[in-house]
A and B are shown apart, each in its own frame.
Chain A
């Protein structure tokens, strides 16, 4: 009878094979009260391990996948549990350390400013959701109309003369020519595509030029190819790849210099009062009102206002390892001797953060790599591991000054060595 585990297992087997009678089902339900959860769970395991694997699911169930976002947003761990798990994790560390240190460690646990820790751990769930490089942009027409294009869009967005703008399922915005001749003598129509902070977008222009637009950037360009001089105005940062068979050269206009392109793959960064153009293939002609320079693959041109080089009006050409400048598109962002302030400014754009009191962050330099898909929680961990002190509130990081740490040079010892980028993000 049902007080015997063997009998209950028989009932379970019939239940799972869908051969149990109504009476047997009822017996099984009664039996569920007579055993502990662990015992029943073990019975279910034993019975189902003995059954052949049956993946006959209705189509609707086969396709059904819950969304990670929803799962995470629904799981909110109670503060009590958080604190408890925080303490217990410290304890497991204590056993791992020498026994003699136990008392000191325990004292340290209770003495520790757990308020700050608590504030940061409560935010972990949320910051795990904040990802960089969201595929989203804004299309602005010359009449001021703006359309926000995100993943909810696929297919045609707008038509302009003989050009149609579509968003491909892969997330690329593509301009397609309909093949009809453009009407001559019309005013050229301009489109502006802009990304906000924390976003990123790829665009394929009618002439085949591929653009990857970084966060907080915009490009403005004539939609119609027949314009006598094809020029793209750029603000922020973008990577351009141009096909080889373009008939005529085209231009990129930034606030600091003008770039003439025949065919080339190159990056242009204008975030910081200067233009940095890094060429990975082809040739470029850079010009400012007072200077001009040819750029070869593997070279970088600076124009505008640079802290080190000054260069009002001039252009400086350097030979560089282009991987660093282009790494924002790759799997990992490489930083080689970057000032903490610049690093944080980039993170502000990348994760759509607001950093308060950025000058209170350390004045050190940073070398290392950061996974380009790492959620904000990873970045926070990285910063804390490097001894930066700040309070996180959602997307806002508030830096507080801890002079004693900065004097002691505590930070630099934790920094990865120069010229040897270490993956810190995900290991």
Chain B
């Protein structure tokens, strides 16, 4: 068919009109640089692909809002960063579970560092235990069970913004507590 590609226009704007070929052209144009960017944070190629896929999926789901943005590409990058961060955290959870199961005899040589990390974890736990009960609950659901704000809000029957405030508050207190304790720890 003698069809010309007439969409040399801004693909993000066209995307806002549910135009599928626009998504194709965004993928074609930006995939390599986005993958390179994601790989700064996430080394594993399969995970990097997954992150990019998720970022594009979010782009499609929010196309109307993004089309209206001044710098849609910046949004895409931001999304890639967030997704990378999520994967990093998710993988960490997997990773730390494995680490806790290590007995010192299986991991000789890193004893010194091991103590450091373990001490640090203890310090964080101590700080969490000193939080007011509601903050403690929200912090644990978020950081230990890996729930997101929305899920926590539903579980605790409070609004998402309350969850956000509680987390902000608890993080501040934990860091403050650590600040006072670490000096002691390092002595």
Question: Which residues does A use to contact B, with CB under 8 Å?
Answer: 1-3, 15-16, 18, 22-23, 26-27, 29-30, 32-37, 40-41, 44-45, 48, 51, 53-58, 60-62, 64-69, 71-72, 74-75, 77, 85, 89, 124, 127-129, 131, 133, 135, 200-202, 212, 329-332, 371-375, 377-378, 426
Contact = CB atoms under 8 A, between A and B. Distances in A.
B6 interface: yes
Given A44-B81, A131-B20, 8 more contacts: A23-B117, A36-B168, A74-B57, A75-B60, A75-B61, A330-B2, A331-B4, A331-B6
User: Counting chain B CB atoms within 10 Å of each CB, which of A3, A30, A74, A75 scores highest?
Assistant: A3
B40 A54 contact: yes
Contacts of B7: 373, 426
Interface in B95-122: 95-96, 99, 110, 113, 116-117, 120-121
A331 B3 contact: yes
B56 A66 contact: yes
Interface of B: 1-4, 6-7, 14, 17-21, 23-24, 27-28, 31-33, 35-37, 39-41, 43, 45, 48-49, 52-53, 56-57, 60-61, 64, 77-78, 81-82, 84-86, 88-89, 92, 95-96, 99, 110, 113, 116-117, 120-121, 124, 143, 167-168, 171, 174-175, 178-179, 182
A71 B57 CA distance: 5
A40 B171 contact: no
A373 B21 CA distance: 9
A29 B6 contact: no
A3 B175 contact: yes
A69 B84 CA distance: 23
A16 B17 contact: no
B110 A61 contact: no
B26 to A, nearest CB: 8
A71 B19 contact: no
Nearest to A172: B1
A72 B60 contact: yes
A45 B57 contact: no
17 contacts: A26-B99, A27-B120, A36-B168, A41-B78, A61-B39, A64-B31, A71-B60, A77-B61, A89-B64, A128-B20, A129-B20, A131-B20, A329-B2, A373-B7, A377-B18, A378-B19, A426-B17
Contacts of B56: 66, 68, 71
B54 to A, nearest CB: 9
Contacts of B32: 55, 57, 62
Contacts of B92: 29, 32
B19 A374 contact: yes
Contacts of B17: 378, 426
A51 B61 CA distance: 31
Contacts of B19: 128, 374-375, 378, 426
A60 B46 CA distance: 11
Given A30-B120, A33-B124, A373-B21, A23 B171 contact: no
Contacts of B2: 202, 212, 329-330
A65 B43 contact: no
Contact of B23 (A1, A36, A72): A72
B17 to A, nearest CB: 6
A203 B175 CA distance: 71
B113 A23 contact: yes
Contacts of A37: 82, 85-86
User: Counting chain A CB atoms within 10 Å of each CB, which of B1, B7, B43, B84 scores highest?
Assistant: B1
Nearest to B128: A33
Given A23-B116, A35-B171, A62-B32, A68 B20 contact: yes
Contacts of B52: 66
B58 to A, nearest CB: 8
A54 B84 CA distance: 17
Nearest to B183: A1
A135 B3 CA distance: 12
Pairs of residues from A and B, 4 with the lowest C-beta to C-beta distance, nearest first = A68-B23, A3-B175, A128-B18, A29-B92
A99 to B, nearest CB: 23
Contact of B45 (A26, A61, A65): A61
A259 to B, nearest CB: 21
Contacts of B57: 71, 74-75
Contact of B18 (A34, A85, A378): A378
Contacts of A372: 3
A67 B49 CA distance: 12
